[in-house]
């Protein structure tokens, strides 16, 4: 995240646990074959499995994720903003 400029360099980067219920919106900042890291606030992010998303995600995509009973689903795509 620091290399992409999505983290404030003077502050620690914190990985939030994946919530068991509720929703989270964020921007994809790191994508690899198996995981996606979403920035949810300044220097805070969550990591989720790519397979659980059900679609391809690119760096910069803004998504809203819904969690219920420990399961994740992709809510309506909130667009791609750059």
pLDDT value at position 79? Answer: 52
* pLDDT for the residue numbered 82: 45
CATH 3.40.50.300 fits 14-74, yes or no: no
- pLDDT at site 9: 58
pLDDT tens, the chain, 82 aa long = 556 666 555 656 677 788 888 888 999 988 888 888 888 887 788 888 888 888 888 999 998 988 888 788 887 555 544 4
pTM (2 d.p.): 0.69
Are residues 67 and 21 in contact, defined by beta-carbon separation less than 8 angstroms? yes
């Amino acid at each position: 995240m620091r290399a992409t400029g999505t983290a404030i360099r003077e502050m620690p980067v914190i990985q939030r646990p994946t919530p068991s219920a509720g929703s989270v919106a964020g921007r994809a900042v790191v994508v690899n074959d198996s995981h996606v890291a979403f920035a949810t606030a300044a220097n805070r992010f969550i990591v989720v499995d790519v397979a659980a998303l059900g679609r391809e995600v690119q760096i910069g995509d803004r998504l809203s994720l819904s969690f219920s009973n420990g399961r994740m689903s992709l809510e309506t795509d909130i667009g791609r903003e750059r």
